[in-house]
Amino acid sequence: MIIKRFLALLLCIVSLSLSAQIEAEKLDKLIQETLTTFDVPGISVGILKDNQIIYSRGFGVRSLETKKKMNAETKVGVASNSKGFTCFALAMLIDEGKLNWDDKVRKYIPEFQLHDPYITEAFTIRDLVTHRSGLGLGSGDLMFFPEGSDFTIQDIIDNQKYIKPQSQFRTDFRYNNNMYIVAGEVLKRVSGMSWEDFIETRIMRPVGMVNSKASYNRVTDKSNIIEAHTRTEGKVIQIPHDWSPTANAAGGIVSNVRDMLTWAQFLMNDAVTVDGTRLLSSEQFHELWQLQTPLKVRKGDWYDSNFRGYGLGWFLTDVKGGHKQVYHTGGLLGTVTQFTMIPDLNLAIVVLTNQMNGRAFNTITNTIKDAYLGYENRDWLKNYGSSHVRNLKYNDSIKASVFAQVDKMNGSKLLPQPKQIVGTYKDAWFGNIIISHDGKNYTIKSERSSQLVGELLPYSPTTYVAKWNNRSFDADVFVNFTFDKDGKAQSATMKFVAPITDFSFDFEDLELKRID
């Protein structure tokens, strides 16, 4: 009888192992197909369940040029997944009695000003990190994006007063990185430590994130780190890393799947490390995951959600049956990442990529979530794959149409003469944009952001297209001139050519006035 029971138990264990292996093989296959469908060079994926890492693998290559393989230890810039660290750090200072969420920002940064004097005085630490400032999506990001500008953190603080709001204060969610940069400066002034030192010494090391750094320029061992990639002119190419350390508090952290799962395990253990050390009070930790700024849930939501919004450094929603989901995504030029936790299922999912395609990480995360939530046969790869093709076709058609019009306008007698538009145009917060003409072609360039230089091409008698020399930006813009009674351009505004443009190319907020 004992032998029979032993054999039955052994058979059960073998069956479970085989079942787990088959599921892992299915996930492996899905990820491989995701690489191909979305033309992503490399992806690493991790799953934490019941305090155990049950899946941690890399697929594809971390560099198209070297062909070196992606694995679970490959470092990736996690971008805006850094925001949760910034808020955790601020909460630690609250525990220490050094500040409060509802303290006024000017208590710590007296020179801080916004466009509206009342809002300036009312603006709190909580307002900095909840995307409810009234400033527009990505407002001011051009001061640090793309890399290569000469704006300092102090410049970013000083220039906030020139940026006009796009909605009422505390009434609307508008994602904003600049406010997190200001929050990082609050952390520095209150703690006496740089944001980077605080994150690494007070959070990463105690948590056990041994392979992570608070900034790309702190990564000394680059033997296993991704290269960035993006689709340019119809083809995915490798591009240089692009992130200014000025904005580290908004998105500077470099990590890998294993360390991000360690972070997830720590968070889902109520901010207690594996050795039993509590880094944050239960009260303050609870506050981080409370809804601060609501967002709409679309009708027919895929996960039967009833609410959605932003907490303190985290997006929050409920998924099937009321399971609370805490999550964030991140994007840099050439990489996007996703970090998801469902605490009451003790489940965390990490997806890191080296190409700018959010449909890839959504395909993987949603498929894994569905398995644990009981949804069946939703085929995210097919759904997102189809929308991906439609999106590329739509954006490419817009760009083709615009440049076909440019070709038609070349040499048109309706176009203004160079003396009518050549000159220096100033925006209050971004500085000067210079338009010049060499006798044949126009050039447009930013005086303070070295990578923003390109051709200025005619589209109509009053509108030109800025075609940036760095084609990986995929951020060409219309430049619409306003002329005086003598036909001389006096001002200009900008607008994206195609919807695919990253929102951090914040050209639409520029109000350019001719100064010579």
220, part of any domain: yes
368, part of any domain: no
Question: Using CA atoms, how far apart are residues 137 and 179, in angstroms rounded to an integer?
Answer: 12
What is the tens place of the pLDDT at every residue in 377-422? Answer: 899 999 999 999 999 999 999 999 999 999 999 999 999 999 999 9
Pair (190, 56) in one structural domain:
yes
Residue 266's identity, in one-letter code, is: F
364, part of any domain: no
Q: 349 and 356 in contact (C-beta within 8 Å)?
A: no
34, part of any domain: no
Q: Using the CB atoms, write b or e for 166-195: b if 16+ within 10 Å.
A: eeebbebbbbbbbbbbbbbbbbbebbeebb
Is the overall model pTM greater than 0.85, yes or no?
yes
Number of domains observed in the structure of the chain = 2
Collapsing DSSP states into helix, strand and coil, what is residue 267?
helix
285, part of any domain: yes
Q: 88 and 318 in contact (C-beta within 8 Å)?
A: no
Pair (73, 171) in one structural domain:
yes
Pair (140, 244) in one structural domain:
yes
- Among 300, 333, 358, the domain-final residue is 358
The reported pLDDT for the residue numbered 321 is: 82
Residues facing 352 on adjacent strands = 44, 337
- Among 336, 358, 380, the domain-final residue is 358
The reported pLDDT for the residue numbered 437 is: 98
* Gyration radius from the chain CA atoms: 25
Question: Using CA atoms, how far apart are residues 459 and 453, in angstroms rounded to an integer?
Answer: 18
Question: Using CA atoms, how far apart are residues 205 and 211, in angstroms rounded to an integer?
Answer: 10
Q: 292 and 302 in contact (C-beta within 8 Å)?
A: no
54 sits in the region (left: phi over 0; alpha: psi -120 to 50; else beta) called alpha
Measured in whole angstroms, the distance separating CA 252 from the mean position of its chain's CA atoms is 10
CATH number of the domain encompassing residue 487: 2.40.128.600
Among all chains, which residue has been given the structure tokens 């990564």? Answer: 219
Structural element, H or E, at residue 425 = strand 423-427
The reported pLDDT for the residue numbered 420 is: 97
Pair (414, 284) in one structural domain:
no
Pair (347, 424) in one structural domain:
no
Question: Using CA atoms, how far apart are residues 6 and 325, in angstroms rounded to an integer?
Answer: 41
Q: Using the CB atoms, write b or e for 248-269: b if 16+ within 10 Å.
A: bbbbbbbbbbbbbbbbbbbbbe
End-to-end CA distance of the chain: 97
Residues facing 329 on adjacent strands = 338
Q: 250 and 83 in contact (C-beta within 8 Å)?
A: yes
474, part of any domain: yes
Peptide bond into 110 cis (omega under 30): no
CATH number of the domain encompassing residue 327: 3.40.710.10
231, part of any domain: yes
Pair (134, 216) in one structural domain:
yes
Question: Using CA atoms, how far apart are residues 26 and 57, in angstroms rounded to an integer?
Answer: 13
Pair (197, 311) in one structural domain:
yes
HSE at residue 208, side-chain half, CA atoms within 13 A, is 15
Q: What is the DSSP string of 71-132?
A: -TT-BEE-GGGGHHHHHHHHHHHHHTTS--TTSBGGGT-TT---SSHHHHHH-BHHHHTTT-
Q: Which domain holds residue 456?
A: 408-514
The reported pLDDT for the residue numbered 102 is: 98
Query: pLDDT in tens for each of the 516 residues of the chain?
Result: 433 333 333 333 333 333 344 488 999 999 999 999 999 999 999 999 999 999 999 999 999 999 999 999 999 999 999 999 999 999 999 999 999 999 999 999 999 999 999 999 999 999 999 999 999 999 999 999 999 999 999 999 999 999 999 999 999 999 999 999 999 999 999 999 999 999 999 999 999 999 999 999 999 999 999 999 999 988 999 999 998 999 999 999 999 999 999 999 999 999 999 999 999 999 999 999 999 999 999 999 999 999 999 999 999 999 998 999 999 999 999 999 999 999 999 999 999 999 999 999 999 999 999 999 999 889 999 999 999 999 999 999 999 999 999 999 999 999 999 999 999 999 999 999 999 999 999 999 999 999 999 999 999 999 999 999 999 999 999 999 999 999 999 999 999 999 999 999 999 999 999 999
Question: Using CA atoms, how far apart are residues 494 and 409, in angstroms rounded to an integer?
Answer: 19
Pair (337, 414) in one structural domain:
no
CA angle (67 as vertex; 65, 70 as ends), nearest 5: 125
C-alpha torsion angle, residues 320, 321, 322, 327 (rounded to 10): -20
Burial classification of residue 403, based on how many CB atoms lie within 10 Å of its CB (0-12 exposed, 13-18 middle, 19 or more buried): middle
Backbone angles phi, psi at 390, to 5 degrees: -65, -40
Collapsing DSSP states into helix, strand and coil, what is residue 327?
strand
Pair (291, 165) in one structural domain:
yes
β-pair type (489-496, 228-232): unpaired
Which DSSP symbol is given to 163?
Answer: S
Pair (58, 183) in one structural domain:
yes
Q: Rounded to 5, what percent of the chain is helix, strand, coil?
A: 40, 25, 35
241, part of any domain: yes
Pair (282, 420) in one structural domain:
no
- Among 342, 358, 374, the domain-final residue is 358
Residues facing 446 on adjacent strands = 433
Going across the sheet that includes 52-60, the strands are: 52-60, 42-49, 347-353, 335-342, 323-332, 315-319, 308-310, 293-295
459 sits in the region (left: phi over 0; alpha: psi -120 to 50; else beta) called alpha
What is the tens place of the pLDDT at every residue in 316-356? Answer: 999 998 999 999 999 999 999 999 999 999 999 999 999 99
